[in-house]
Every structure is written in structure tokens, then in C-alpha cells.
């Protein structure tokens, strides 16, 4: 495929992702665990992105323009059933930042997501989940005292602003805390082991 073909394919794949998310959010099916139809789209898109990595390396803005690069990042960020691909993608992104083909903000989001799925502490506070009190809150953060400084370094607002925004967004979409927090955690841990995030 030409660079233009890769761009068009990745943009179309990202569009399918968002269309499925919107449909499942409207029916409220999105908020009851990882929906099989959403996971199927993510896996299909991940396979496309893996082929792009094999063929052109990091699909950055110099090759695919801003829209194509943004689509590639969305697909990578959502490829949560493919730990190998997310880790590979982060390494490629970190190499591409110096040349302007990727940006530090996207790398911050992806590195936090990987850390959270691995069961570690995130660095920038971008990943959220429902806590035991029924509040949408950041996943564990390393060195919480320094998080706002780290966030500012990649262009993120203070943690307090993001917490308020995330909770407002969840309320607007109708996303609510799970009825059984412990069951949700157990289901997540089982999924994380199944796909390879945990040993």
C-alpha cells in the first residue's frame, strides 16, 4: 500500500472504532465491562496497525498527515487486548518524538495506560477507573506530589481539573459506578491475565 492508502485505511479503522463506541454508549452496553463487539473492532484495528508498523514503522504525521497519525494513535491506545502491540508502539513513538512524528502527550497517555494495565503506578495521571467509593478517580499514580509538574511538561492541565472533567463526561454519557466493585475488579484481573498483561 502507498502512504496515502495507509492513511485512508487507518482513518477508516479509527472511524469504525468511534462509531461502535458511540452506538454502545447510546445503548449503555459500553459501560458493563469490555463489550465483545468493541473488543472485536479493537483487535481488527490492531492487526491493521501491526501491519503498518511492519511496513512503514511508526505511522507519523510526516508520512500520513495529522489525521492519519491521530488515527494511528487512537487505534494503538485502544488496542488493550494486545499488550505486545502497545509496548511496541510506545517504543516506536518515543523514537519518533525527536523527529516530530509523534508527540510527548500521546506517549504520556500510552505509557500510563500500559503501566495501569500491568498493575503498576502511572506517571501522568491520565488513566481513570471507578474506585471503591463509587467515584471515577485516577488509577494509582507514582509520586503524586509531583504529578502536576509532570502533567504540565506534556501539556496536561492540573490533576484536579481533569478529575472534575472526567467525572462530568461520565455523567453526561450515563456511565456510572459498577454495582459490585469487587466483581468488576475480579473480572478485570481475569481479563488482564487472559490477554497477557499479568502473569
- pLDDT tens, 123-164? 999 999 999 999 999 999 999 999 999 999 999 999 999 999
**Can you give the C-alpha Rg of the chain in angstroms?**
17
Q: What residue ranges of the chain have pLDDT lower than 50? A: none
Q: What is the value of pTM for the model shown?
A: 0.94
Half-sphere exposure of 102 (CA within 13 A, CB side): 25
Residues 71, 17: Cα–Cα separation, whole Å? 10
CB atoms closer than 10 angstroms to residue 120: 13
Give residues with Cβ within 8 angstroms of 12, minimum separation 6: none
What per-residue confidence (pLDDT) applies to 1? Answer: 87
Amino acid at each position: 500500500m502507498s502512504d496515502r492508502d495507509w492513511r485512508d485505511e487507518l482513518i477508516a479503522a479509527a472511524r469504525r472504532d468511534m462509531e461502535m463506541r458511540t452506538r454502545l454508549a447510546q445503548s449503555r452496553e459500553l459501560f458493563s465491562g469490555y463489550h465483545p463487539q468493541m473488543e472485536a473492532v479493537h483487535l481488527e484495528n490492531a492487526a491493521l496497525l501491526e501491519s503498518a508498523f511492519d511496513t512503514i514503522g511508526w505511522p507519523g504525521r510526516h508520512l500520513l498527515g495529522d489525521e492519519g497519525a491521530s488515527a494511528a494513535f487512537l487505534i494503538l491506545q485502544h488496542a488493550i487486548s494486545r499488550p505486545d502491540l502497545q509496548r511496541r508502539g510506545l517504543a516506536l513513538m518515543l523514537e519518533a518524538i525527536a523527529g516530530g512524528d509523534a508527540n510527548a502527550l500521546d506517549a504520556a497517555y500510552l505509557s500510563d495506560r500500559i503501566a495501569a494495565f500491568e498493575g503498576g503506578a502511572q506517571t501522568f495521571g491520565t488513566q481513570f477507573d471507578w474506585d471503591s467509593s463509587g467515584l471515577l478517580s485516577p488509577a494509582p499514580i507514582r509520586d503524586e506530589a509531583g504529578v502536576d509538574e509532570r502533567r504540565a511538561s506534556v501539556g496536561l492541565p492540573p490533576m484536579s481539573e481533569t478529575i472534575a472533567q472526567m467525572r462530568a463526561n461520565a455523567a453526561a454519557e450515563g456511565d456510572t459506578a459498577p454495582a459490585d466493585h469487587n466483581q468488576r475488579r475480579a473480572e478485570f484481573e481475569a481479563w488482564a491475565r487472559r490477554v497477557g498483561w499479568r502473569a
